[in-house]
Amino acid sequence: MLDRNHSRTAEATAAIRACHLRYDTPLVFADPYAAQLTSPLWRAVASTPLLYWPIVRGLLGALRPVHGWILVRDQMTVDDLQAYVARGGRQYVLLGAGFDSIALRRPAWLEGVNIVEVDHPATQAVKLARMARSGATLPLADFEAVPIDFERENLHDGLARSSFNADAPSFFAWQGVIYYLSSSAIADTLRHIGELSAPGSELVFDFLLPGFALQQGRGHVLSLTRAVTARMGERYVSYHTPEDLERLLSAVGYELVDVQRDVDLQARYCADRDDDLSVMHGFGIARARKC
Ligand SMILES: C[S@@+](CC[C@H](N)C(=O)[O-])C[C@H]1O[C@@H](n2cnc3c(N)ncnc32)[C@H](O)[C@@H]1O
């Protein structure tokens, strides 16, 4: 859980995107802004092969399946968002946006879509400073950053002081966040998402499976990742089964449409690769729709 510090795990996921763009072929997800948005240290590692290979692929090589997890999550979110926009959706809310760069990339199909990024105040302040330093002219059109600490503040009140329109359907992405939050913060935030969701709204988020739900012997990368993120000051504290999520979502007026598992995402985004990019076991991505 974050307090006054910005999220180091968010910098790490941006670093994974930056390294992927430079060193992996073919690309699962292309983010030309990731290197500018991550920390100076990660930027140096990503841009210097003499650092990248011994550090990322040597020292941290056992975490390679985490790259797959982050990259397929990013691309699936964009694919689902694009389909949502094609159906007429005009509002995109990123909860725990981290150093996501969609507001800077702004593909043509996102023209006219209002992007609202919610994040912990410390992470968001660093991100906005890095966006400005990278040459972005702030404020960007159809973009708003709303600082909210999910452990202390209320999503409803936070969005009420923003351009967010609760009468219009939204696509909510809450990727890479819920396992860092207490069960009360998850339930509260879901309740507010439910209240703020006009019919036709959609929600996508990833979650971690509890130990008992892991296939035997396939949880070692997740265990290692848990130790690494704890060292960064961000502990995994919440784990869910799809049945838990179904209950939580139905209580707030959402229907769980499906859960994408590592094998589904590996087959969809990483099949037929010649390199070692694979998807970590132990997470799922839930897709839900407002009833
Ligand atoms: C692993 S990062 C994921 C960032 C981004 N969604 C991505 O996939 O790259 C976790 C994000 O959760 C946010 N976060 C963690 N605890 C939070 C809290 N209590 N309130 C608001 N945001 C929080 C962090 O600021 C960070 O942006």
- How far from 63 is each of 55, 118, 173, 276, CA to CA, in Å? 11, 28, 24, 12
Higher per-residue pLDDT: 1 or 4: 4
DSSP conformation letters of 128-175: HHHHHHTT--SSPTTEEEEE--TTTS-HHHHHHTSS--TTS--EEEET
Cα 272 to averaged position of ligand 1 atoms, centre (Å): 32
Cα 120 to averaged position of ligand 1 atoms, centre (Å): 7
Q: Report all structural domains of the chain as residue ranges with CATH numbers, in order of start.
A: 63-290 (3.40.50.150)
- At 46-76, the pLDDT tens digits run 999 999 999 999 999 999 999 999 999 999 9
% of the chain surpassing 70 pLDDT? 99
HEC string of 230-250 equals HHCCCCCCCCCCHHHHHHHHH
Question: Pocket around ligand 1: residues whose beta carbon is below 6 Å from it?
Answer: 1-2, 7, 9-10, 13, 96-98, 100, 119-120, 123, 148-151, 175-177, 180
The answer for residues whose C-beta is within 8 angstroms of residue 209's C-beta and 6 or more apart is 239, 240, 241, 282, 283, 284
First to last CA, the chain: 31
- At 231-272, the pLDDT tens digits run 999 999 999 999 999 999 999 999 999 999 999 999 999 998
Atom of ligand 1 nearest to the CA of 149: 20
